[in-house]
Amino acid sequence: MTALFPVHSVPGAHVRARDWGWRHAGRGAPAVSGLDLDIEPGERVLLLGASGAGKSTLLQAMAGVLGGEEEGDEFGSIQLDGRRPADARGRAGLVLQDPDSQIVLARIGDDVAFSAENLGIGRDEIWRRVRWALDAVGLDLPLNHSSSNLSGGQKQRLALAGVLAMQPGLLLLDEPTANLDPGGVREIRDVVDRVITDTGATLVVVEHRVAVWRDVVDRVIVLNPAGGVLADGHPDSVLEREGARLAAAGVWVPGIPPQVAARPDRASPGLDLLQAAGLSVGRTPFASKIPAVAASDLDLTLTEGTGTAVTGANGTGKSTLALTLAGLLAPVSGALNATDALARGLPPSPIRWRSRALLTRLGTVFQEPEHQFLAPTVRRELAIGPTALKLAKSETSSLVDDLLERLRLAHLADANPFTLSGGEKRRLSVATVLATRPQVLLLDEPTFGQDAVTWGELVSLLGELVDGGSSVVTVTHDLSLVEAFADRELVLGATTGVRA
């Protein structure tokens, strides 16, 4: 990156927590408790901990956005440069996991300027900072470019630029790469590394995937779900000492791969179920009649007892293809036909089937689990499919109990699906589809943002389903998933093709 703009070095911020804790309103147990911590100016910290250890809560506290008394109860003290974080606005900049929820304004220049405006910076200085921040994150687009029309990696760069325009002394990143493809992950990591080196700000990053950040950080802090800190020190020594325990708690520790069940009796492929020939897929944009083609000339046969991975860069039409195969989106052109083994008397084109007919034939797990939740409790969520199939009450209930056990959701049977953690939501969304035993299963990024334990469970489960005779298709960026589960890989993009 050329140094077009002078580097704004800022004094790194200092964080001090003394017996600090926080309990979210309406919860019995505190999210964080008994925390004693000092982070010195300029330190680069990777914050680890099991799911539910309060990592995000701590980041939000350091950013001063946890809220007041209505949001929860605070214990002890946490200070940013000796002040309450909420009184030190602008000293800490927080980047969240979901880039879409952080964009405020319609043009990228205005969106970056927004944070500087809030700090009362003068107009000329604002635009100097905007150009510097966009240059620093390498987002080389005109200032009036639409902020909606960006890739995932670009959106996350924009979010980072917006925070940098405040020139924070403390940069807080909450799983900043969880929603990005592997290329995007490296991009963001390198941008953060460069910016921190240039500005000298303090860095605290929360991330499951240790390998990505290991060379960027100089300290690892592991939060204890039971309160306080489990381990704290140089990355190498912490990982050596706590690696096994962290891996068991779901952290991706380099050198400790997640546990995946062995597949002793590999099934041989059975009957063909769904055949695509010269298929073009696409969605019709709002207020338009002509579909925008996302991928074309696809030839693919889904067969019983095979695992298929659909890969390719962002924007190559992977999700659109999955929705089309699932009978949820009409093909733009070409043929998509179910064989008699799948159609069982219905017309060959899945988009023409009734919603109920899909249940036992084509099951879809959406990328965003929240989109597919319909019921107020986990148990009722699982019963929706079987009920729609008009199964007997007793059969439904034993089916549901079985799934609750199998996917470790039994203790959450009466919880609202929306209140589950990310990993639990993912397991539930898979379970809802398994409840009706579809012949073909399509999963869109099932392992996105999952911790290592959930990852291992999902991969084991998918293997089990394939060996049980299902045809399983996953859309994914996750190369380890492809390796662990797929019999063949369909790579979308400039050179679309099948790899065995």
Partner 1 sequence: MSALLPEIRDSAIARVNPVAKLAVAVFLSVSLLLSIDVVSASVALVLVSILLFWSGLGARQFWMRTAPLWLAAPFAGLTTVLYGEDSGALLLAWGLISVTEGSLSLGLAITLRVLAIGLPSIVLFATTDPTDLADGLAQVLRLPARFVLGGLAGMRMIGLFLDDWRALGQARRARGVGDAHVLVRLGTQAFALLVLAIRRGSKLATAMEAKGFGSDTPRTWARPSRFGFAEAVLLAIGVVIAGSSVAAAVFAGTWSFILDQS
Stretch that binds partner 1, among 97-105, 191-199, 307-315, 450-458 (CB under 8 A): 97-105
Q: Which of 72, 291, 385, 463 binds partner 1 (CB under 8 A)?
A: 385
Nearer to partner 1, 92 or 452 (CB): 92
Spatial separation of the C-alpha atoms in residues 457 and 229, rounded to whole Å:
27
Stretch that binds partner 1, among 104-112, 263-271, 403-411, 457-465 (CB under 8 A): 104-112
Provide the residue type at 150 as one letter.
Answer: L
Stretch that binds partner 1, among 186-194, 292-300, 310-318, 349-357 (CB under 8 A): 349-357
Spatial separation of the C-alpha atoms in residues 487 and 169, rounded to whole Å:
49
Q: How far is the CB of 78 from partner 1 (least distance, A)?
A: 16
* Contacts of partner 1 in 164-223 (CB under 8 A): 166
Give yes or no for residue 290 binding partner 1 (CB under 8 A): no
Q: Tell me which residue of 462, 471, 492 sits closest to 274, measured CA to CA.
A: 471
* Contacts of partner 1 in 229-268 (CB under 8 A): none
312: left (phi over 0), alpha (psi -120 to 50) or beta: left
Spatial separation of the C-alpha atoms in residues 270 and 284, rounded to whole Å:
35
Nearer to partner 1, 249 or 326 (CB): 326
Q: Which of 1, 7, 25, 106 binds partner 1 (CB under 8 A)?
A: 106
Q: Which of 256, 271, 313, 388 binds partner 1 (CB under 8 A)?
A: 388
Nearer to partner 1, 1 or 119 (CB): 119
370: left (phi over 0), alpha (psi -120 to 50) or beta: alpha
* Contacts of partner 1 in 418-457 (CB under 8 A): 418, 432-433, 436
Q: Which of 1, 25, 119, 277 binds partner 1 (CB under 8 A)?
A: 119
Q: Tell me which residue of 202, 150, 127, 152 sits closest to 172, measured CA to CA.
A: 202
Stretch that binds partner 1, among 29-37, 259-267, 291-299, 385-393 (CB under 8 A): 385-393
Contact 203, 173 (CB under 8 A): yes
- Helix (H) or strand (E) holding 18, with range, is strand 15-24
Spatial separation of the C-alpha atoms in residues 231 and 46, rounded to whole Å:
12
Residue 337 neighbours by CB under 8 Å, 6+ apart: 274, 275, 348, 349
Stretch that binds partner 1, among 19-27, 141-149, 180-188, 464-472 (CB under 8 A): 141-149
Contact 155, 100 (CB under 8 A): yes
* CA 229 and chain centroid, separation: 26
Q: Which of 17, 191, 210, 384 binds partner 1 (CB under 8 A)?
A: 384
Spatial separation of the C-alpha atoms in residues 356 and 350, rounded to whole Å:
12
Stretch that binds partner 1, among 186-194, 229-237, 239-247, 382-390 (CB under 8 A): 382-390
Give yes or no for residue 121 binding partner 1 (CB under 8 A): yes
- The end-to-end CA distance of the chain, in Å, is 40
Provide the residue type at 434 as one letter.
Answer: L
Q: How far is the CB of 61 from partner 1 (least distance, A)?
A: 12
Nearer to partner 1, 366 or 455 (CB): 366
Give yes or no for residue 329 binding partner 1 (CB under 8 A): yes
Give yes or no for residue 389 binding partner 1 (CB under 8 A): yes
Q: Which of 10, 80, 108, 126 binds partner 1 (CB under 8 A)?
A: 126
3-class DSSP state of 50: coil
Nearer to partner 1, 66 or 482 (CB): 66
